[in-house]
Amino acid sequence: MTSTLIAGNWKMNGLARSIGELEAMIAGRSEVPDTVDLLICPPATLVAAFALRAQNTGVSIGGQDCHAAVSGAHTGDISAEMLADCGASHVIVGHSERRADHGETDAVVRAKVEAVWRAGLVAIACVGETEAERDAGRAVEVVERQLDGSLPERATAANLVVAYEPVWAIGTGRTPTVEDVASMHAAIRLVLEKRFGDDGGAIKILYGGSVKPDNAATLLGVDHVNGALVGGASLKASDFLAIAKAG
Ligand code: 13P
């Protein structure tokens, strides 16, 4: 793997004035190795302004979700084409908060990945088990099923990133052991290679869930961890840059 992706998911946080935080990230970009790609996914209301500000800075901007259709009677939704039109390069799809809060199934997520590709953008498809599923010894089986159902054919290293985010590690300060991360990422790699051949070996697999400056180097050092999807710690430029420097 030639590069690492450190992606920030701002979730439902950020107002117009938060562009100052993006500017601090851009200012600190030069201290982050060239082999580390930076991506910030602000709420949809900020994508256009952020993308304009981040042009040619080495920080990319993405969306957090999209509708599967190009356009139409879907009040409140936005399409992948609209995100592309605003200057987004990536779209997160199938985050566990979307799956839980909006009942998104693997089939829905798969249609959204197709929509992201239709718009010419990179999909970051999220998978991850709940605590009950892990306790029942079913974590790998659950994630494999989510991958099977959520990833369309035609995935390549250029159009897809997979994010493994154990639901119980999100926003809790808890992380899986290095051994658990290693075995899950190896299992995901196997699924990707079986389905997508050589490309499956090159598709980035991010770890997400309570990534912080003090655990980033350890998590990013695990085999088949090709970057991080960062929630809370991506809201502050100093924390996000500290994580990126560990990449
Ligand atoms: P936290 O880093 O806040 O645990 O969130 C992880 C996440 O859900 C990123 O998509």
Question: Does 95 qualify as catalytic in the annotation?
Answer: yes
Q: Is the CB of 210 under 6 A from ligand 1?
A: yes
Whole-number Å distance between alpha carbons of 84 and 139: 34
Task: Report whether residue 208 contacts ligand 1, using a CB cutoff of 6 Å.
Answer: yes
CA atoms of 188 and 143, how far apart (whole Å): 8
Domain range holding 35?
A: 4-245
For residues 163 and 140, what is the distance between their CA atoms, to the nearest angstrom? 14
Q: How far, in Å, CA of 111 to CA of 93, rounded?
A: 10
* Cα 132 to averaged position of ligand 1 atoms, centre (Å): 19
pTM: 0.98
How confident is the model over 229-246, as pLDDT tens digits?
A: 999 999 999 999 999 999
Which residues, 6+ apart, have CB-to-CB distance to 16 below 8 Å? 46, 49
175: domain CATH number? 3.20.20.70
Give the integer Cα–Cα distance in Å for 159 and 153: 11
Query: Ligand 1: which residue has its CA nearest to atom 7?
Result: 231
In this prediction, the residues of the chain whose per-residue pLDDT falls under 70 are none
> At residue 125, what are phi and psi to the nearest 5 degrees?
-90, 125
Cα–ligand 1 centroid distance for 228 (angstroms): 9
What pLDDT sits at residue 210? 98
Q: What is the pLDDT of residue 154?
A: 95
Q: What confidence tens digit (pLDDT) does each residue in 62-115 have?
A: 999 999 999 999 999 999 999 999 999 999 999 999 999 999 999 999 999 999
* Number of domains present in the structure of the chain: 1
Determine whether 185 is an active site residue: no
Ligand 1 centroid to residue 231 C-alpha, Å: 3
